[in-house]
Amino acid sequence: MSTQGRPKGEYRSAQHGGNSMHRPYVRPMAGWWKRDPFFMRYMARELTAFAVGAFAVILCVGVLRLAQGEAAWNGWLAALRSPASIALHVVLLVAMAVHAKSWFEIMPKTMPMIHVGGKRLGAQTITRAGWAATLIASLLLIALVWGWR
């Protein structure tokens, strides 16, 4: 029997030094997500949750400073201008885009089936409609930020 390519210690019996003939092989799960590009993409997607959470904290500090007055608010704006903050927000931007992309890719699997004209609405149609909605929402937000007086 070949054990080639298996990392050391995959047989639990060897670790415990017991009767190896009667102990079942237990596949270790540590670092399981590094085994396959599919799992790595899954983990990368899961990491975007931290970006959403971090941005919630940043905005929460923002409204707290806003409530404390003009000087406090300007301090928050100044903090956003620091190179560290810009770098962080570039990472957050990429993560948010990945979240938006995958959110609508998963949506056809999570939402109830929709039938149009007796045919089930295709997964790709739902995904593309979601991305289009993101584009419209983004343009609307940017128009409001710069256009609203």
Partner 1 sequence: MKRSHAPIFWLLFGGGGMLAALFGTALVLVTGIVVPLSGSDVLAYPRMLALAQSVVGKGFVLAVIVLFAWHAAHRILCSLHDIGIHKGLVAKLTCYGCAMAISLVAAASLWRVGF
Site for partner 1 in 29-68 (CB under 8 A): 29-30, 33, 43, 46, 49-50, 52-53, 55-60, 62-64, 66-67
Of positions 12, 13, 85, 121, contacts partner 1 by CB under 8 A: 85
Cα–Cα separations (whole angstroms), residue 9 to 17, 28, 29, 30, 87: 11, 9, 12, 12, 41
Contacts of 26 (CB under 8 A, 6+ apart): 12
* CA torsion, ordered 13, 14, 20, 26, to nearest 10 deg: 40
Return residues touching partner 1 (CB under 8 A): 29-30, 33, 43, 46, 49-50, 52-53, 55-60, 62-64, 66-67, 70, 73-74, 77, 80-81, 85-86, 88-90, 92-93, 96-97, 99-100, 103-104, 130, 133-134, 137-138, 141-142, 145-146
